[in-house]
Amino acid sequence: MLHHHMIKREDSNSSIGSSSTPPPVMLSSYSEAATALYNNVVKRSVSPSHEEQMSFISEFTYSDDIGEASQSPPLSPELNTDHQLYLGMRSVQSAAAAQQVARVEQGSPRRVCLVCGDVASGYHYGVASCEACKAFFKRTIQGNIEYTCPANNDCEINKRRRKACQACRFQKCLKTGMLKEGVRLDRVRGGRQKYRRNPEGPYQVAAQPIKRITIDENTIISALIACEPPTLSISMNKEYTNAFCDSKTALAALGELIDRELVNIIGWARQIPGFSQIHLDDQMRLLQMSWGEVLSLTLAFRSMESSDGLSYANDLTLSQVQAEEMGLEEIFLYTKHLVQRLNAIRIFKEEYLALKAMALINADTVLENSTLVYKMRESISQSLQDCILTLSPSTNNAAPRMAQLLLLLPLLRHLDVLIRQFWQRMRSERNATLNKLLCEMLEWNMTFKLGC
């Protein structure tokens, strides 16, 4: 069915010590001043255990190279008071710091690597991950390495077995949302750049400012605007005029609507510059891998003006109550979260169109000719950057804006998994009759064990 469609279409804030302020006292020497400060400040802020610790420390020096503590020589009264004051204040600071660290450790659980379950060292390429998985993903992308699973592409990936199958480990990196675009292909560490020495000396004319191109001059954005499919209407099918009177009929109507959306997505993809030049099998694989992401982004952008629902069609806005009755509550909540993020960054339509094309071409799958796909991915990415420069008031905003948009891709991939799981469950439980194209997409999904 999908092949038929592809062939058919050609185109320290508080005070220390007690609250009462002691009366001023005239001090005759530095030692008296130090003693007074110790009595009024340190003793009031240090617990008895800390005082005992200071008393003990004042009798000994630090251990020598062998590790044995040697007793310090007696200090003069003035120096002894100063030494005791210094040790007391240092003990107060150390104890406060230790208590603060303990509170932080108790209050915040350690992050876990979403790929192997090891302790995550931070967020790498958009996902909480450990150093090992971060390095593995970076090495794979930079080397353009292709792995083959010796089993059935369903190997278990955990901390102990993460090195057993590189193919399944890489697939899990992608499924959790790691972004290929985050890896620097020039092998230069983040934050550094390559500069060429100027042979003519430092006194030269400054570099020319970045030239902004208009939207009309951006050929890919212009093509995406022209080929954007219209929003469908559910009332076009008289059978579903009163579709949402019960959940089973509603699911059938929604399934029929998604099937029509899939037909539109195929026609839309064929009109994106460069897509028709890709190998036909690669076109089908990219569509089969990304249709859920494309649908989710389209639905979210269409629902930005809706305050409490999701606009599936011109005449169909699904509320949260209806979504719960149909079993779509999780998909509804994640899609609304995506809507909130789109509204928060105030995404432009041109940016949305480029991001949708990026979701299509960024789909991870085995390709017959990866060179053409990578070339098309680069051209779409460059068009998105040019679009941001055109729409942004300052060139300084371009890089953060690009990052905000690309960080939406992991959420789209998660929604894609939820959508596939939901409709596969509806199909297996026979809760809804699905059309052939949607069934074909789900069957391909089961073949490659995505989202299971």
> Which DSSP helix (H) or strand (E) runs through 313?
strand 309-313
Q: What pLDDT shows up at residue 407?
A: 94
Radius of gyration of the chain (CA): 32
Report whether pLDDT(310) > 70: yes
For residues 293 and 177, give the distance between their C-alpha atoms in angstroms, rounded to a whole number.
12
* Ramachandran class of 76: left when φ > 0, alpha when ψ lies in -120 to 50, beta otherwise: beta
For residues 222 and 349, give the distance between their C-alpha atoms in angstroms, rounded to a whole number.
12
Q: What pLDDT shows up at residue 65?
A: 39
Q: What is the mean pLDDT of residues 440-447?
A: 70
Reduced 3-state DSSP string for 273-324: CCCCCCCHHHHHHHHHHHHHHHHHHHHHHHCCCCCCEEEEECCEEEEHHHHH
Report whether pLDDT(218) > 90: no
Report whether pLDDT(411) > 90: yes
Give the pLDDT band (50/70/90) at residue 185: low
Q: What pLDDT shows up at residue 32?
A: 52
- Decide: helix, strand or coil at residue 4: helix
- Hey, which of 49-63, 346-360, 426-440 has the most confident mean pLDDT? 346-360
Q: What pLDDT shows up at residue 203?
A: 35
Q: What pLDDT shows up at residue 130?
A: 94
Burial zone of 354 (CB within 10 Å; 0-12 exposed, 13-18 middle, 19+ buried): buried
Cα separation values, 196 from 185, 200, 203, 210, 255, Å: 19, 12, 15, 19, 57
Residue of 173, 133, 172, 179 lying closest to 153 (CA atoms): 172
Mean pLDDT, the chain, as a whole number? Answer: 74
Residue of 263, 282, 305 lying closest to 437 (CA atoms): 263
Model confidence pLDDT, tens digit, residues 152-179: 888 889 988 898 899 999 999 998 888 8
For residues 354 and 381, give the distance between their C-alpha atoms in angstroms, rounded to a whole number.
8
Report whether pLDDT(225) > 80: yes
Cα separation values, 435 from 1, 247, 350, Å: 10, 18, 32
Q: What is the mean pLDDT of residues 78-90?
A: 50
> Which DSSP helix (H) or strand (E) runs through 43?
helix 43-45
Residue of 247, 300, 246 lying closest to 426 (CA atoms): 247
Higher pLDDT, 107 or 247: 247
Q: What pLDDT shows up at residue 217?
A: 77
Report whether pLDDT(88) > 90: no
Model confidence pLDDT, tens digit, residues 315-371: 888 999 989 988 999 999 999 999 999 999 999 999 999 999 999 998 777 888 888
- Decide: helix, strand or coil at residue 388: helix
Give me the residues paired with residue 112 across strands: 119
Q: What is the mean pLDDT of residues 101-130?
A: 77
Q: What pLDDT shows up at residue 189?
A: 52
For residues 371 and 271, give the distance between their C-alpha atoms in angstroms, rounded to a whole number.
20
Higher pLDDT, 48 or 417: 417
CA 376 to chain centre: 23
Query: Is the distance from CB of 389 to CB of 215 less than 8 angstroms?
Result: no
Query: Is the distance from CB of 437 to CB of 266 less than 8 angstroms?
Result: no
Report whether pLDDT(385) > 50: yes
Burial zone of 210 (CB within 10 Å; 0-12 exposed, 13-18 middle, 19+ buried): exposed
| Contact partners, residue 437, CB within 8 Å, separation at least 6 | 1, 2, 5, 259, 262, 263
Report whether pLDDT(215) > 90: no
Q: What is the mean pLDDT of residues 125-149?
A: 90
Model confidence pLDDT, tens digit, residues 3-38: 556 655 444 444 434 444 444 444 444 445 445 544
> Which DSSP helix (H) or strand (E) runs through 128?
strand 127-129
Taking the complete model, does pTM exceed 0.85, yes or no?
no
